[in-house]
Structure 1
Amino acid sequence: MDSHKSIGLTKTVGYQVGVRKTFPISQQQAWSLITAEEGLNAWLGGGGNIILKPGHQYRTTVGTGEIRIVKPLLQLRLTWKKEEWQRPSTIQIRILSKENNKTTISFHQEHLANQQIREEMKRYWESRLASIEESIQKM
């Protein structure tokens, strides 16, 4: 078997991917960027009324899911199923405070169906981090 095909494959959660980037902003600013309506629309798709409360089910132009864990300033955990997917994935976003007023935003997604979707989501999350960086530069 070609070991390249199994990048990101785990025994328990299928394919997974994680991306992170550190920004020159406070933990509060990072949380606001991720959880404000504009931020949620940017990474989950628009058109939804997403309430960050465990158990809340949401639908956007891109897919559906359920909010699982909300720890303000620290962590979001939710399911997300894009329309074309057979089953939902799990996304965990962590906000990690660093020294000198810097904060790392981390996206981790698991239960992805295959290597192709993993690669697609890696590019997707990298583009979301690039968008966050652009919005910070405009602040």
Structure 2
Amino acid sequence: MKTREKSIGLTKDVGWQFGLRKTFSYSQEYLWDFMFSDKGLEIWLGKLNERLEIKKTYKTKEGIEGLVRVFTPYSHIRMNWKKKSWDNMSTVQVRVTGNQKKATISFHQEKLLDDTQREEMKIYWNEKMKEIEKRLAIEN
């Protein structure tokens, strides 16, 4: 009998993916407002020249670029996302869910090339989440 090993992060439909979530003791509204403030955006996306708009391209000063596909305030944003050094375009979804007492920030990235790129993004998003946590602690 043959068994097939399943690689962590590999899906049939969207290739390699990575997801990360963390729950905070802040309301959903507060976390959303922080994540989409200039300070918050600069942490997880980068410094933007223009505001994010649905169906519009964006590019950060750090070289991350893409297109905003879905933007539902106080829920989620879904966008094409490409690092400056990459040839491929991935998809990133940032979601804020919760209530008035606590809420969760989640990052989900799909259409990654391989397990190496997945590992790169695992490190990247974990660092971003730590930066968010530090900034929230400073501001409160």
TM-score of the alignment, normalized to the shorter chain, above 0.5: yes
Q: Distance in 2 between matches of 1:102 and 1:135?
A: 17
Q: Distance in 2 between matches of 1:13 and 1:50?
A: 29
Partner of 1:110: 110
Q: Partner of 1:101: helix, strand, or coil?
A: coil
Runs of 4+ displaced beyond 3 Å:
1-4
Q: Distance in 1 between matches of 2:101 and 2:56?
A: 32
Letter in 1 for 2:123: R
Partner of 1:19: 20
Displacement of 1:2 after TM fit? Answer: 8.6
Q: Partner of 1:82: helix, strand, or coil?
A: coil
Larger Rg: 2
Partner of 1:127: 127
- Write out per-residue CA displacement over residues 92-112 of structure 1, whole angstroms, 9 at most, x where no aligned residue: 1111114x6100001000000
Displacement of 1:50 after TM fit? Answer: 4.2
Partner of 1:32: 33
Partner of 1:8: 9
| Structure 2 residues not aligned, in runs of 5+ | none
Q: Distance in 2 between matches of 1:124 and 1:2?
A: 29
TM-score (normalised: structure 2): 0.89
TM-score (normalised: structure 1): 0.89
| Structure 1 residues not aligned, in runs of 5+ | none
